């Protein structure tokens, strides 16, 4: 048995390396996690990507196996740590539980440590959820409170925009605090519409595979917070495309200590479904060329291109992109074998759907989809 030790995975580069190792590993390779990897808060974009990494591992290797934790971890500490944040909870739910050395703990027993956190999510007790300037809302398939009250009006039905708007305002206020004025009300309204549509779409399409067969388990949700991206850790994540590198250079600034960083409000949506292209085409991405996959992704993102059943569905994404264009924000989408982005200069006329590849590196396929939105919190 080969053991692959997963590191801290702070950067997207590190996360993608582990995803590549998952794709090319033998069936008996074990991926072993330190407990702080599953509970650490780095940024909503990075944490959602780390969750996607865990979901990819679970879908490919762990549905009949355990999430492996470093054997030096204490049993109680490990259970508490993996249930302290969405990446760990997702990994436990999509596997049989956790393994610490030779000790195997069933997921039902492990997930009891997530009960209070899940109840706080449902009750909108956001002060109890904030850690590291980030709030997570996780819907866990099969749980008693799968349909969290902040996100759902009834079983399986996401709130409409009007119901989602006050929740979004509360979340933005709680996570940005002194920088709340940097997130315009029009963007909050657009995010409410986008959230309503996206969560409903997830319920209709991300709980089954590309053929329509229901998954045995699934998760979906949202991470929100504000982050300071320090150059020493995150600059390489913004260097894979000239437009991305320019965005970093334009938006990152020097702190009082001389360190360069980009300060931003972020929101990331995630699910454990088949991915945007597989939902749209009914095919696994490995069955098509990379160019066909890219064209399919851009088609399914286009205005009014939607498989949702609501009236006027499909307006949320262009509404958010229009707001990002006005204020100079960024959107990143990671699904299938693609990581794509659109980055705007404030008030420019860039095409809303002029998405480019985040990196020139060929990426391994991931399970699910992550859509991340980044809004710079610029100094006066």
196 falls within a domain: yes
Strands 260-271 and 330-336: unpaired
pLDDT at 273: 95
Indicate whether 310 pLDDT > 60: no
Range of the domain at 233: 114-376
77 falls within a domain: no
pLDDT at 305: 46
Indicate whether 234 pLDDT > 90: yes
Indicate whether 336 pLDDT > 60: yes
267 falls within a domain: yes
Q: What is the mean pLDDT of the chain?
A: 92
Q: Where does the pLDDT of residue 74 fall: very low under 50, low under 70, confident under 90, or very high at 90 and above?
A: very high
Q: Where does the pLDDT of residue 311 fall: very low under 50, low under 70, confident under 90, or very high at 90 and above?
A: very low
Beta-bridge mates of residue 263: 228
pLDDT at 152: 96
Write out pLDDT tens, residues 241-275: 999 999 999 999 866 677 889 999 999 999 999 99
pLDDT at 313: 55
320 falls within a domain: yes
**134 φ, ψ (degrees, to nearest 5):** -135, 140
17 falls within a domain: no
Write out pLDDT tens, residues 94-106: 999 999 999 999 9
CA distances from 377 to 129, 150, 176, 233, 347 (A): 22, 26, 9, 19, 16
pLDDT at 380: 61
332 falls within a domain: yes
pLDDT at 61: 87
Closest by CA position to 111, among listed 128, 91, 129: 91
Average pLDDT over residues 320-344: 97
Higher pLDDT, 312 or 316: 316
- Number of domain units in the chain: 1
4 falls within a domain: no
Global pTM value: 0.95
pLDDT at 303: 55
Write out pLDDT tens, residues 166-221: 999 999 999 987 788 889 999 999 999 999 999 999 998 899 999 999 999 999 99
Q: Given phi > 0 = left and psi -120 to 50 = alpha, else beta, which region is 132?
A: left
Q: Residue-wise over 339-377: b if at least 16 C-beta within 10 A, else e?
A: bbbbbbeeeeeeebeebebbbeeebbbbbbbbbbbbbbb
Indicate whether 307 pLDDT > 60: no
How far, in whole angstroms, is CA 49 from its chain's centroid?
A: 5
Q: Are 110 and 84 in contact (CB under 8 A)?
A: no
124 falls within a domain: yes
pLDDT at 312: 42
Write out pLDDT tens, residues 10-42: 999 999 999 999 999 988 899 999 988 998 899
Average pLDDT over residues 308-322: 74
Distance CA 98, CA 92 (A): 7
């Amino acid at each position: 048995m080969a053991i692959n030790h997963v590191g801290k995975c702070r950067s997207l580069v590190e996360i993608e390396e582990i995803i590549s190792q998952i794709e090319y590993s033998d069936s008996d390779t074990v991926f072993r996690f330190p407990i702080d990897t599953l509970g650490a808060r780095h940024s909503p974009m990075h944490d959602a990507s780390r969750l996607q990494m865990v979901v990819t591992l679970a879908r490919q290797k762990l549905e009949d196996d355990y999430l492996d934790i470093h054997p030096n971890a204490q049993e109680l500490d490990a259970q508490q740590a993996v249930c302290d944040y969405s990446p760990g909870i997702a990994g436990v739910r999509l596997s049989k539980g956790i393994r610490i050395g030779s000790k195997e703990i069933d997921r039902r027993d492990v997930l009891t440590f997530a009960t209070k956190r899940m109840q706080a999510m449902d009750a909108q007790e956001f002060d109890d959820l904030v850690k590291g300037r980030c709030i997570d809302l996780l819907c866990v398939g099969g749980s008693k409170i799968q349909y969290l009250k902040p996100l759902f009006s009834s079983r399986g039905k996401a709130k409409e925009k009007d119901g989602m708007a006050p929740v979004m305002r509360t979340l933005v206020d709680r996570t940005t605090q002194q920088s709340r004025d940097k997130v315009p009300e029009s963007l909050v309204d657009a995010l409410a519409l986008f959230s309503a549509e996206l969560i409903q779409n997830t319920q209709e399409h991300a709980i089954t595979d590309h053929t329509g067969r229901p998954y045995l388990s699934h998760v979906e949700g949202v991470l929100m917070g504000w982050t300071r991206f320090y150059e020493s850790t995150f600059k390489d994540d913004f260097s894979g495309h000239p437009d991305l590198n320019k965005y970093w250079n334009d938006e990152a600034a020097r702190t009082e200590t001389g360190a360069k960083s980009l300060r931003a409000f972020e929101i990331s949506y995630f699910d454990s479904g088949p991915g945007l292209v597989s939902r749209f085409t009914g095919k696994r991405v490995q069955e098509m060329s990379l160019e066909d996959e890219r064209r399919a992704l851009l088609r399914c993102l286009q205005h009014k291109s939607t498989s949702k059943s609501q009236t006027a569905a499909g307006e949320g994404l262009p509404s958010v992109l229009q707001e990002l264009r006005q204020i100079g924000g960024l959107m990143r989408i990671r699904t299938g074998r693609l990581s794509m982005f659109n980055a705007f200069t404030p008030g420019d006329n860039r095409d809303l759907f002029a998405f480019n590849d985040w990196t020139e590196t060929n990426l391994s396929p991931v399970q699910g989809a992550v859509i991340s939105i980044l809004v710079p919190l610029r100094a006066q």
